[in-house]
Structure 1
């Protein structure tokens, strides 16, 4: 049963109205009963991509779909304290926020069917004058949902994406035995060695609604498992869920999954390429129906122009850690070295593939997908609005040429400078989220710059006289 909301209804009121859908609630109650669910995680995602939340006994479902759960807002920055001792995101006296579940994200965890989960959207608590019930501005997931909805309303287009999450697995029995001068990539024998891992990951992902499509072995311990592309919001949720699945499989098998972007010097980095397409209904508007040769429509060219124009400024999100930039320095390892595009050219930042999608290669395995997709929507909008020309496609290797766009930042400090100077990128996230993300990452960079590393000991500890 639904009610009519007053004209002064807040975003929180509207969400509660959606959650009053009796048919949807009864369907969830049936799934809870059928699976024997006893506990439910009400979860959200922080600026760094960490999953946070609360566990509640399942019998409180009706209360929680209306009231939600509450958490301290500094959790959105992982309760991180900066070098000066300040708690990022508002300090200890900051108000809590309300986390209200999206009913369509309910899922039973396949590794323990007594537990289920919801993704939540976050709101200011109702008692806060003037802003009570409004969306929490540092909610990365809620921001992407709102931004994408507005983009579709304005353009009639939908961003669809598929991610390629590379990661490294280490542990007993996973040592990759191959000649030093011989790549282990695509070796079925090494896939077979990893069979317990990919079987569990794929089976759990399928149980959680993924359409798993293919996977391969790429470098020592590096496995990539892919699923079907979809609406960008769903892809972001699935990437977060995929990481949770991998952590669970690691616990079960006694091995260690890592999304660290550059595990070791000379090894392939762990990327998370975003494969992008724009759809109007059932039509991908990046390509013209019936044309077989590689090409982009005008819409596709302008969208690409926006992506490339703002790529340097997006790097603080696409490569979000100090370690991320080791992946770009090690040229020849399929990571971009400059900002450009090409026709099925794997050395470029953006590759136009044979199936009419743009493969954006800057994001790495620790990217926050809600932030990356929000920035891509902002960049694409700017490209469409201003008909930005991406220039001619790169011919040959990118490692031997110059691009027409801003240079690729070579460390997190440079990336943060570019990030803070780009209006389009900042508008896609909003001022409060930009401030929180910048403060968190600037502190991370400062901490790294103040740490003495093993490399420095190797170089300098006995170098003089």
Structure 2
């Protein structure tokens, strides 16, 4: 791989800048990036620095004033789990300064969903597992619009300072903090910021919102079906707007399925908003006495619940590097093609994150439902894994509605770092690519086979995530389903 990118930099200033960066460092930028990923977890001073920032006069004054002005009396101190849930402790808001210093203690297995394996053992550690400390990030404080006396604040997880050797380090299985570190390393190494917008689809079910379905016709886009859902999407948008979402559009896509979108932003904000959106939907469902589901494939013959990630990379001057200035026709820049090359190279290994459940793979077995089955890309091609639907963004179509957005964005960064640093040229747009895993079991094997992807995550996180998903696959393989009864109960003689 040549580091001399400047010869290809016509119309793309970022290429010459990356060439100079590689020459100055004397190394391939992908290797530099990975070494920095490894080093970040060995920082024993991470907790102390975060604590010092929390306790600055400015930070303390700002958060206490916000809480007092809002009228919030209780705070959820929250962390996302590996399995896309959220765990929290509730603490009276009057103790916020104490918590800025000391944090909140959780049992270590909380971040692996307190999941037991088929033998009854807690994954990630048993009763002897050490606690970790969640240190709040004051800038993430928000008041919940459905109960003004309750607020929430995200935390970053650390090893307790009293633990020998590892005390004060970032906790390896904190997927949110891992994505934040990974993104910062992309900025430090490549001078690039990733922005994204997600498209979470979901299904709503209840007697009061049953649509009229004409046989042989899709209910998508029909105003009457939007009208049936009107009270729900109005409440959703009301709560989302109160939580600083910039809501932009929504539609009715299939039976009970709606998709509401908000403006793209830096991936830290986008991922937090996706997690928050799920909580909003759950609350609205309670208020209306209906059910809201992010299950990837609730029904055969109907659209699955995807969560496309529309990504772009921005340089330090605020330019979208996926576009070439002056080119109007649908295109992707050279830097963008290398980014896509990295994504396609590692897409089989990333499927365990992007399509993380047994049910996720039903999306790919239902023909005609726009779910990609190969590692390819295309210009406004809905069958492709990466679709270029507009200049300046790449739509990654494999993530589904159950995705952990912190893990998905972290692995997209890692694959892009490989693509750009090693100038991985993708096949021509529209060409068939490598087949993707079509079951959770195949995805587990593909993840194990991609050493680069595994190395892009903390070792402990990879190990525990693999254990969680291997156990899920084992339980599914051992389950007897209704389909099997229908197929075999009286099949013989």
Q: C-alpha deviations, 1:4-59, integer Å up to 9, x for none?
A: xxxx9610000001112322322222222222111000000110011001000011
Q: Which of 43, 49, 61 is the aligned partner of 1:14?
A: 49
Q: Distance in 2 between matches of 1:370 and 1:86?
A: 26
Q: How does 1:28-427 map to 2 (within 5 A)?
A: 28-281=63-316, 282-394=318-430, 403-405=432-434, 407-427=435-455
Report which stretch shifted further, 19-28 or 197-206: 19-28
8 Å contact from structure 1 (residues 64, 100) kept in 2: yes
8 Å contact from structure 1 (residues 378, 427) kept in 2: no
- RMSD of aligned Cα (Å): 1.1
Corresponding residue for residue 3 of structure 1? none
8 Å contact from structure 2 (residues 375, 385) kept in 1: yes
Q: Distance in 2 between matches of 1:172 and 1:35?
A: 37
| Residue 337 of structure 1: how far off its partner (Å) | 2.1
| Residue 142 of structure 1: how far off its partner (Å) | 0.7
Q: Distance in 1 between matches of 2:275 and 2:101?
A: 25
**Secondary structure of 1:429 counterpart:** coil
8 Å contact from structure 2 (residues 282, 292) kept in 1: yes
Q: C-alpha deviations, 1:394-451, integer Å up to 9, x for none?
A: 0xxxxxxx7233x110100000000011122112212110000000000000000000
8 Å contact from structure 2 (residues 133, 158) kept in 1: yes
Q: Which of 451, 459, 476 is the aligned partner of 1:431?
A: 459
**Secondary structure of 1:59 counterpart:** helix
Q: C-alpha deviations, 1:232-287, integer Å up to 9, x for none?
A: 11111110000011001011111110000001111110000000100013110011
Deviating 4+ runs (over 6 angstroms): none
Report which stretch shifted further, 447-456 or 276-285: 276-285
**Secondary structure of 2:66 counterpart:** helix
| Residue 196 of structure 1: how far off its partner (Å) | 1.1
| Residue 176 of structure 1: how far off its partner (Å) | 1.4
Q: Distance in 2 between matches of 1:357 and 1:338?
A: 20
8 Å contact from structure 2 (residues 133, 160) kept in 1: yes
Unaligned residue ranges in structure 1 (runs of 5+) = 1-7, 395-401
8 Å contact from structure 1 (residues 44, 53) kept in 2: yes
Q: Which of 434, 455, 465 is the aligned partner of 2:483?
A: 455
TM (norm. structure 1) is 0.95
Q: C-alpha deviations, 1:289-318, integer Å up to 9, x for none?
A: 221101111110100000011011111111
Corresponding residue for residue 397 of structure 1? none
**How many residue pairs are counted as aligned between the two chains?**
450
TM (norm. structure 2) is 0.90
Q: C-alpha deviations, 1:136-185, integer Å up to 9, x for none?
A: 00000011011110111000001110000000000122111121111111
- CA gap of 1:9–1:337, structure 2 versus 1, over 3 A, is closer
Unaligned residue ranges in structure 2 (runs of 5+) = 1-42
| Residue 338 of structure 1: how far off its partner (Å) | 1.5
Q: C-alpha deviations, 1:61-84, integer Å up to 9, x for none?
A: 100011110000011111111012
Q: C-alpha deviations, 1:70-128, integer Å up to 9, x for none?
A: 00001111111101222111211010000001111000001101000111000001110
